[in-house]
A and B are shown apart, each in its own frame.
Chain A
């Protein structure tokens, strides 16, 4: 973590939620800018240059998804959506609009902090302009330079498609990657309707890199939305 406390812009109209988030974030070394409307949120995002944005969707003067889309028109500040809307379509819409992650209310502090960390790390990394050459989580090691995957001490043999799927997830490690996005990046833009390709290869991949494919530790399913590669 950077020495300077990261600045988080919170766009949320519920006073109770703001109170809880203020306590949780400030207690964990973040500085907070608060905003209660979509219009003000956009202005603050542009004017105060926060390190990350926590964005509620149901705002009194507009939809948070629109705010995310507008911010993405000019900036790459990580956006974590926090919303009471739990339907998969809402999540996909928010992610498609450019949000980095999605948390459904109610959520615990631990989960919020973890997602925020992932978002900030990605921002730092893309600012540095270089990806980590070796990705490690638990027993799983993915060496992007040597194109090698290891589970503990054992070398895992992957087909080219499986490898491409894994490295795509590595690139977005910690974030939800939607089915569409994965299909587009691994199989190309013509394949985005063919989710069963993805399902089948994901099952193969899990059988190779997970200790128990029915209880995956690394390659997590976000039901109805996509997949996430665990980072911690």
Chain B
């Protein structure tokens, strides 16, 4: 038997340890009721820690005026409370941010279950504590058993007091240490009578009720059991860490089905207790029947229940479908669910007989999945089997009119041809009309049509005719059959219509999602993806959508080049930042920072957070609907994937550029060392010859040597200037300061600068007089001319002419620098503008091969193009274009 932990288990343990090391440690002082001495125990231990030299501060401690507790507080640094202005009333609240800024090792935060004042960042204090832990600060806190979410009901049943302030069980489960502050019921009552237990005046009676001896004993048992379970869990954890097999297979997966009513909460809590024993994943499922109207209060209860399930650590799922049992089973099979929990049915048995039982269907179809039926809920998902489609809605008046007319018309026809018909035929014709009405219109018009039909049939045709009296009782049966058939047909029609509606809604959502996914697959680049995703989500949800992406300094920003959907002020920004940090939904309509205008979802992909999605619904409740939220989350995850793709592509490109830059740097260095040393060698040689001359050099030779030194120094100067230009072009620091300028100016300067070196080459300049002034950077374009002319000087034999000309062509000015040299070798046209490229034939020519690259950088920065080709009749011609635009009117210049 191999008892070693699997690699996955080891990895998991390692991850947990790592996460734990970065996080602060949480210790909970747990008690059965107020007054058992939790705060006291916490302060005692904090004092001990302080003596050990730990940096302990008091975040918030309620002494309730108890002298012994106050005495223990003495000497601690206490964080001042934050003032929160709520509708003009100044409220005091624990300041978690101040603690995070102060960064102590350990902070004491009393009463974990406390509800924060409205306007605080979080609704609950335990959320603040989570923040502290995430910031790496250890926390000591206190908690009473009745505040534990899963025990809430039981406590209410025992004590009759319903506690509103609850804390998710996960907090206790994940606490690094739990210490039970225990006191027997008798001792507690004694302390109470001595006035050592804090009792608020206004609630004195309720509190008295609460502190009955029986209650206290029951609560104490709960607290002890909870702690014992924890110890048990620790033991199991130990077993796991040390490779000891667990008894329970971890593969269990539990699915809880709830319906839209307040009793669902009890089912969830009951399931949690069961799950707690099994230590497995669990999910809470709600099947929404399309078209089924859920009252606002039921809807609110449902949202609350789903939130409760999430707090208790369940994953929540909402499905949409007509047949709840089928949907549940399909989901269970797809997700390897091993146990399904449903509530006991509460509706009368005849409904099951008539419409079939969902529970029955579930059990029969469950296969090897166990189905547990628990107390606490009405039948899950849908109360009646058939969906009740818009039953409360009134059919349009027109439908009533048309159905009435149809029946009257039918009666008239029947009257006209009555003598040829039997009474049964007439009944059939009426039945036909009612059936047609039932298949086309709602239930209301159908019922009207059947009653009207029966009345007319009775009055005009059933003997005695022209009275409502009926001679034969068997006609009553005819009437009954007509009515039932009409109702059945209309019921069937409505179901079919509802199914079509479901399909349509589903189709529309799928189509919207598909449309976005398809378009996202086609676009490239962050800005485009953000714009596309925002547009699709806006059209699907009808709310402004803003995607924020982290910038290089980790701040969330509206991506460059995308429109701003709604203003993101500092407040919204801070909500988004919180969402990014914790990768958890927050903002309007949630528990965290509900005062924000927008609702923010983290965009998380495989590599981690890629952005934050913000929506600003006009009604904050829009996304409290689990179906809408789930759809939004689906859209968000698609957008996240697309964004990640863009970011990875961007990163890959940047890395490729970095590799290329590295390669260039290497070749630049080797090239530089050669090109700098050559002139330096010549200078050193020439100058040292003159210095060490012992009168053997002629005056002419001396001058010649010194002239060489000067020329080489000038060459080095040019080389350095070229390198500096290159760096400017490369680093993107090339600032083009355009002004309208005749080309003559930069060309003139270049020609004068190169005067000495152009002595061997006659230069002809052909600038048509009508050539307009061109917006250009004087210094940079002069550099282009110098580089192109130098290039011509270098690569063409002495005495060959250089022709510079310019023409106006399609809104651009094209400049040609042409020579009569050997021309370009095939294939060189594209390469000569590359960095460090030198035509092989010209190894004698000086330079690093940067001149033309600089030209390309400058021309490109001007919005132009540069290229080279062979000149008809021999030689090469270098051409570049500059976009021309009409200069501001010179005529306005005051003369």
Most chain B C-beta atoms within 10 Å of own C-beta, residue among A88, A159, A194, A196: A196
A203 closest partner in B (C-beta): B742
Q: Give the CA-CA distance A199 to B752 in the complex, in Å.
A: 18
Interface string of B791-815 (1 = CB under 8 A from A): 0000000000000000000000000
Assess whether B893 is in contact with A106, with CB atoms less than 8 Å apart. Answer: no
Residues of B contacting A161 in the complex (Cβ-Cβ under 8 angstroms): 893, 895
Check if A220 is an interface residue, CB within 8 A of chain B.
yes
Q: Which of A181-232 contact B (CB under 8 A)?
A: 187-188, 191, 194-197, 199-203, 206, 213-216, 220-221, 223-224
Q: Of the 9-residue stretches B309-317, B743-751, B832-840, which lies at the interface with chain A? A: B743-751
Q: Which of A123-168 contact B (CB under 8 A)?
A: 159-161
Residues of B contacting A202 in the complex (Cβ-Cβ under 8 angstroms): 745
A221 closest partner in B (C-beta): B749
Assess whether B773 is in contact with A195, with CB atoms less than 8 Å apart. Answer: no
Q: Give the CA-CA distance A202 to B740 in the complex, in Å.
A: 13
Residues of B contacting A194 in the complex (Cβ-Cβ under 8 angstroms): 888, 893
Closest CB in chain B relative to A41 CB, distance in Å: 27
Q: Give the CA-CA distance A9 to B108 in the complex, in Å.
A: 72
Question: Taking chain B's interface residues, is the majority helix, strand, or loop, or is none over half, making it mixed?
Answer: helix
Residues of A contacting B747 in the complex (Cβ-Cβ under 8 angstroms): 214
Cross-chain contact of A224 among B742, B779, B888, B895 (Cβ < 8 A): B779
Q: Which of B753-797 contact A (CB under 8 A)?
A: 765, 767, 773, 778-779, 782
Closest CB in chain A relative to B676 CB, distance in Å: 15
Assess whether B895 is in contact with A223, with CB atoms less than 8 Å apart. Answer: no
Q: Give the CA-CA distance A15 to B741 in the complex, in Å.
A: 42
Assess whether B894 is in contact with A191, with CB atoms less than 8 Å apart. Answer: yes
Residues of B contacting A213 in the complex (Cβ-Cβ under 8 angstroms): 744, 748
Check if B97 is an interface residue, CB within 8 A of chain A.
no
Check if B353 is an interface residue, CB within 8 A of chain A.
no
Assess whether A199 is in contact with B782, with CB atoms less than 8 Å apart. Answer: no
Assess whether B740 is in contact with A214, with CB atoms less than 8 Å apart. Answer: no
Q: Give the CA-CA distance A159 to B713 in the complex, in Å.
A: 45
Interface size on A, as a range, is 20 to 34
Check if B739 is an interface residue, CB within 8 A of chain A.
yes
Check if B890 is an interface residue, CB within 8 A of chain A.
yes
Assess whether B773 is in contact with A196, with CB atoms less than 8 Å apart. Answer: yes
Assess whether B748 is in contact with A215, with CB atoms less than 8 Å apart. Answer: yes
Q: Give the CA-CA distance A159 to B767 in the complex, in Å.
A: 24
Check if B214 is an interface residue, CB within 8 A of chain A.
no
Closest CB in chain A relative to B590 CB, distance in Å: 53
Q: Give the CA-CA distance A191 to B888 in the complex, in Å.
A: 13
Closest CB in chain A relative to B10 CB, distance in Å: 61
Residues of A contacting B888 in the complex (Cβ-Cβ under 8 angstroms): 194, 196
Check if B717 is an interface residue, CB within 8 A of chain A.
yes
Number of inter-chain CB pairs below 8 Å: 70
Closest CB in chain A relative to B750 CB, distance in Å: 9
Given contacts A188-B894, A215-B748, contact A195 B779 (CB under 8 A): no
Assess whether A195 is in contact with B739, with CB atoms less than 8 Å apart. Answer: yes
Residues of B contacting A223 in the complex (Cβ-Cβ under 8 angstroms): 746, 749, 778-779, 782
Assess whether B745 is in contact with A221, with CB atoms less than 8 Å apart. Answer: yes
Most chain A C-beta atoms within 10 Å of own C-beta, residue among B721, B752, B888: B752
Given contacts A213-B744, A214-B748, contact A106 B778 (CB under 8 A): no
Assess whether B778 is in contact with A224, with CB atoms less than 8 Å apart. Answer: yes
Residues of B contacting A201 in the complex (Cβ-Cβ under 8 angstroms): 893
Residues of A contacting B721 in the complex (Cβ-Cβ under 8 angstroms): 86
Q: Which of A43-97 contact B (CB under 8 A)?
A: 86, 88
Closest CB in chain A relative to B721 CB, distance in Å: 8
Most chain A C-beta atoms within 10 Å of own C-beta, residue among B746, B782, B895: B895
Cross-chain contact of A199 among B714, B742, B751, B779 (Cβ < 8 A): B742
B744 closest partner in A (C-beta): A214
Closest CB in chain B relative to A23 CB, distance in Å: 14
Check if B365 is an interface residue, CB within 8 A of chain A.
no
Given contacts A188-B894, A196-B740, contact A106 B749 (CB under 8 A): no
Residues of B contacting A215 in the complex (Cβ-Cβ under 8 angstroms): 748, 751-752
Given contacts A214-B747, A224-B779, contact A199 B741 (CB under 8 A): yes
Residues of A contacting B356 in the complex (Cβ-Cβ under 8 angstroms): none
Cross-chain contact of A203 among B739, B745, B746 (Cβ < 8 A): B745
Assess whether A214 is in contact with B779, with CB atoms less than 8 Å apart. Answer: no
Given contacts A199-B773, A223-B782, A224-B779, contact A214 B894 (CB under 8 A): no
Assess whether B752 is in contact with A88, with CB atoms less than 8 Å apart. Answer: no
Assess whether A216 is in contact with B752, with CB atoms less than 8 Å apart. Answer: yes
Residues of A contacting B685 in the complex (Cβ-Cβ under 8 angstroms): none
Cross-chain contact of A197 among B717, B778, B890 (Cβ < 8 A): B890
Check if B887 is an interface residue, CB within 8 A of chain A.
yes
Closest CB in chain B relative to A165 CB, distance in Å: 11
B753 closest partner in A (C-beta): A223
Assess whether A199 is in contact with B895, with CB atoms less than 8 Å apart. Answer: no
Q: Give the CA-CA distance A108 to B714 in the complex, in Å.
A: 10
Give the interface of A toward B (CB within 8 A): 86, 88, 106, 108, 159-161, 187-188, 191, 194-197, 199-203, 206, 213-216, 220-221, 223-224
**Can you list 20 A-B contacts (CB < 8 A)?**
A106-B713, A108-B710, A159-B895, A191-B894, A196-B739, A196-B740, A196-B773, A197-B890, A199-B741, A199-B773, A200-B890, A202-B745, A206-B744, A213-B748, A214-B744, A214-B748, A216-B752, A223-B746, A223-B749, A224-B778
Shortest beta-carbon contacts, A-B, top 5: A196-B740, A197-B893, A224-B779, A214-B765, A223-B779
Q: A199-B739, A200-B742, A224-B737 are in contact. List 19 more A-B contacts (CB 8 A).
A: A86-B721, A106-B713, A159-B895, A161-B893, A191-B894, A194-B888, A196-B740, A200-B890, A200-B893, A202-B745, A213-B744, A214-B765, A214-B767, A215-B748, A216-B752, A221-B778, A223-B746, A224-B778, A224-B779
